[in-house]
Structure 1
Amino acid sequence: MVDILEGAEPFAFEGNDIGVLVVHGFTGCPQSMRYLGEELNKRFGFTVVGPRLPGHGTSVDDMATTGCADWIGEADRALKELASRTKKVFVTGLSMGGTITLNLAWRHKDIVQGIAPISAAFGVLNEPMAEAMFLNPMPDRLPGVGSDVKDPTVTELAYTEVPTSCLGELTNLIMGTSTMMKEITCPALIIQSRDDHVVPARNADLILAEISSDDKRLLWLNESYHVATLDNDKDLIVDQVGTFFQALAAA
């Protein structure tokens, strides 16, 4: 057993028979998705679940013992549990959670009715992360990538360091997911901040071009950085994601 940081706990908000899975990002925790989850439940009545991915919201040492199979495995478990008690299920996720959102849409076409990846890590890394992949010797840890937020009053609960063993796992997740993008056909609302210091904004254009969904849309955010779910555009995200999923559920 590991101790979970205060505020990093997984959450669930019971609502109607429409389920929404919300997935946090790399080195972050459910805290970054709690506002979105709470408001989707309050404003739209959805049943919302926000899992804590293994190794997150505990310690950097704990994270170093996990990998992409663990992260995907927990998202799978939460998705199937939610689907077992709701009629329709949708998925939204931030950063690596956005990558996992895409991955779930590809692997669970029979379950996932629509997706909203937010600042999703896809095919293009930012310069510091790309350079880190070629360090020799490779250190055990590197500076963290969390809390890229424009609002000065807000802080993301995320690690200040990244275990480098997990960088390779993140790359494997991104590469594995990117090879199957053409097989994603469910409706998609792609959300991306124009000024993102963690995930280059052009990832959003790549996702839009790669997926095969007939209904695919791109929402640009102008007042937020990477962790947009906690930033100045957080209510815009709630309204757009909620309205998108609500319309799909009623169709």
Structure 2
Amino acid sequence: MTTIMPGAEPFRFDGDKASVLVLHGFTGTTQSMRYVGEQLNKRYGFTASGPRLAGHGTSVDDMETTGYLDWLNSAEEALKALAAEGRPVFVLGLSMGGSIILNLAARFGDIVKGAISVNAPALFLGPDMATLLCDPNAPARTPGIGSDIKAPGVVELAYPEVPVGRLREGHLLFGLTTNLLPRITCPTMVIQSREDHVVPARNALDIVNALTSCDHVRLLWLNESYHVATLDNDKDAIVTHAGEFIRFLLEH
């Protein structure tokens, strides 16, 4: 039986106006998305659903048995379950979760009414990460990438190590998703921290420039947060901008 880390459980806050699928990032947990989901429900009346992606929120050993298709499948199942409830469905994701929601928006345009990515990787990972992925002698695991947070005293619940093989799976996902970006037609908001020590900020521009079939694109820069912005100083700005974006789309 899989043991879930305390705080990494899936969550759901019920509302009646729309549904929002909120996805955590690579090696992270639902803890990073709970505040945003809870506030979208409390302030705007949206149903917020935060599933636990396969291999996450349990153990690094567990994660090493999964790959990007498993992570996508976790998100797809949650998306289709929300759609079956009959409300308009929007998607919001942090980091790898941001890549996954863009992937879903590209492939399930009949379901996804709007997409919001936060510090999502595209193809540009930075020279250090690229060197690691190309090294045949790279270690099986490297130190964790969690808790890149500017606000003092705030800690992300994430794995203490990164399985390098799963990082390669993530890179495959990012590349495939980048190739799908021109297929996205729903309104899309791209949120990016100017100072991000995990995902280079230029990814935001790469994503925006690739959304060639999307007529409604917004780019929001965050000035007071690092990578895990949903737990950082700009978390309320994310809630407000995402909530108003969704409300605007519902009214037009």
On whether the aligned pair clears a TM of 0.5, the verdict is: yes
SS in 2 for 1:154: coil
Structure 2 partner of 1:54? 54
Partner of 2:228: 227
Name the SS for the 1:180 alignment partner: helix
Structure 2 counterpart of 1:86: 86
| Structure 2 Cα separation of the partners of residues 87 and 9 of structure 1 | 24
Deviation at 1:128, TM superposition (A): 2.5
Q: Which amino acid aligns with 2:214?
A: S
The residue type equivalent to 1:246 in the other structure is R
Q: C-alpha distance in 2, partners of 1:87/1:173?
A: 28
Shift of 1:208: 0.6
Aligned counterparts, 1:44-193, within 5 A:
44-193=44-193
Q: How far apart are 1:86 and its partner, in Å?
A: 3.2
Retained in 2: the 8 A contact 1:17–1:85? no
- Kindly provide the amino acid, as one letter, of the partner of residue 207 in structure 2: I
Structure 2: distance between partners of 1:234 and 1:123: 25
Give the aligned residue type for 2:188.
A
For normalisation by structure 2, the TM-score amounts to 0.98
Q: Distance in 2 between matches of 1:52 and 1:126?
A: 27
- Range moving further from structure 2, 41-50 or 125-134: 125-134
* Residues 126 and 197 in structure 1, CA contact (< 8 A), matched pair in contact too: no
> Displacement of 1:248 after TM fit?
0.5
**1:206 Cα deviation from its structure 2 partner:** 0.7
SS in structure 2 opposite 1:102? helix
Q: Which runs of 5+ in 2 are unaligned?
A: none
Alpha-carbon separation, structure 2, partners of 1:204 and 1:183: 17
Separation (CA, whole Å) in 1 of partners of 2:63 and 2:200 = 24
Q: CA RMSD in A?
A: 0.8
Counterpart Cα distance in 2 of 1:66 and 1:126: 24
1:240 correspondence with 2:234: no
d(CA) in 1 for partners of 2:138, 2:44: 47
Contact 2:123–2:171 (Cα < 8 Å) also in 1:
no
CA distance, structure 1, for counterparts of residue 147 and residue 166 of structure 2: 18
- Contact 2:117 / 2:191 at 8 angstroms: preserved in 1? yes
Post-superposition offset of 1:135: 2.0
Letter in 2 for 1:117: S
Q: CA deviation at 1:160?
A: 1.3
Paired residues of 2:22 and 2:50 also in contact (CA < 8 A): yes
TM-score (norm 1): 0.98
2:32 corresponds to which residue?
Answer: 32
| CA–CA separation in structure 1 for the residues paired with 2:194 and 2:31 | 23
In 2, Cα distance between equivalents of 1:71 and 1:196 = 23
Any runs of at least 4 consecutive aligned residues in structure 1 with deviations exceeding 4 A, and if so which? none
* Distance in 2 separating the partners of 1:158 and 1:87: 32
Q: Which runs of 5+ in 1 are unaligned?
A: none
- The separation in 1 between residues aligned to 2:126 and 2:64, in whole angstroms, is 22
Kindly provide the amino acid, as one letter, of the partner of residue 139 in structure 1. P
Using the TM superposition, name which of 75-84 and 129-138 deviates more.
Answer: 129-138
User: Does the 8 Å CA contact 2:11/2:50 hold for their aligned counterparts?
Assistant: yes
Aligned partners of 1:12, 1:143: CA distance in 2, in Å? 31
Structure-2 separation of matches of 1:148 and 1:127? 18
The letter of the residue matching 1:192 is: Q
Q: For each residue in 1:30-83, what CA deviation from the matched residue of structure 2 results, as whole angstroms up to 9, or x when unmatched?
A: 000000000000000001100000111111000000000100001000000011
Name the SS for the 1:66 alignment partner. coil
